[in-house]
Chains A and B, each alone.
Chain A
Amino acid sequence: QLVLTQSPSASASLGASVKLTCTLSSGHSSYAIAWHQQQPEKGPRYLMKVNSDGSHIKGDGIPDRFSGSTSGAERYLTISSLQSEDEADYYCQTWGTDIQVFGGGTKVTVL
């Protein structure tokens, strides 16, 4: 079964960095994923696609301080130079031919 696992919360100080993790279920370590940001009371926003080789393709207008990487079945989103507007929920997403799956989301708090 295709499942994505995320930690419920993360925090870091203004100007610091935070690294979020999304773990693919057993047998699915070759899958690409995508990251989406959802600021309070807003719709989600596509950030990037992260491939199994660690390459990533960002959406239009996404700042350079957002980056993606991979290690085995784990996919990462790193936010550098944290800004107050980065305080949001972050969801990872993956897919099969007839299904889409979301992780439970990570709430990022900027201290």
Chain B
Amino acid sequence: QVQLVESGGGVVQPGRSLRLSCAASGFTFSTYAMHWVRQAPGKGLEWVAFISYDETITYYADSVKGRFTISRDNSKNTLSLQVNSLRPEDTAVYYCARGPLYSYDSRGTFDIWGQGTMVTVSS
């Protein structure tokens, strides 16, 4: 079935880095735009980053611009998020989500979500 499975979360000290992954299955990953969305404990959803289906276009929320990098490997059906210079306010569950087919921009909804991976930034 169509599925997204995140991994790579953990507890990390402020200023350190982490790489999150999202394994896609059950659909042609290379034809869909993808996003990362996060949710701080007890808070709402916050969009983080977008990547086009062919990885040529990326967009970021202002809160992570310059620190986070979204990428994908269409040969391995994998989406990644490199998170650098982590801050306590980056503590959240990070979800990957599927965007529209053959999309070059951020327009459109997310129709498939993963179950999330928790990142805790603490000294």
Asked if A pairs with B, the answer is: yes
Interface residues of A (CB under 8 A from B): 34, 36, 38, 42-46, 49, 59, 89, 91, 93, 95-105
User: Does A95 lie within 8 Å of B45, measured CB to CB?
Assistant: no
User: Does A46 lie within 8 Å of B44, measured CB to CB?
Assistant: no
User: Does B111 lie within 8 Å of A46, measured CB to CB?
Assistant: yes
List 29 A–B pairs whose Cβ atoms lie within 8 Å, in order of A's numbering. Answer: A34-B110, A36-B110, A38-B45, A43-B95, A43-B114, A43-B115, A44-B45, A44-B95, A44-B113, A46-B112, A46-B113, A49-B109, A89-B44, A93-B45, A93-B109, A95-B106, A96-B107, A97-B105, A98-B50, A98-B106, A99-B61, A100-B37, A100-B47, A100-B50, A101-B47, A102-B44, A102-B46, A104-B44, A105-B44
Select one of B47, B95, B97, B107 contacting A97, CB under 8 A: B107
User: Does B45 lie within 8 Å of A46, measured CB to CB?
Assistant: no
Give the secondary structure class of A's interface.
strand
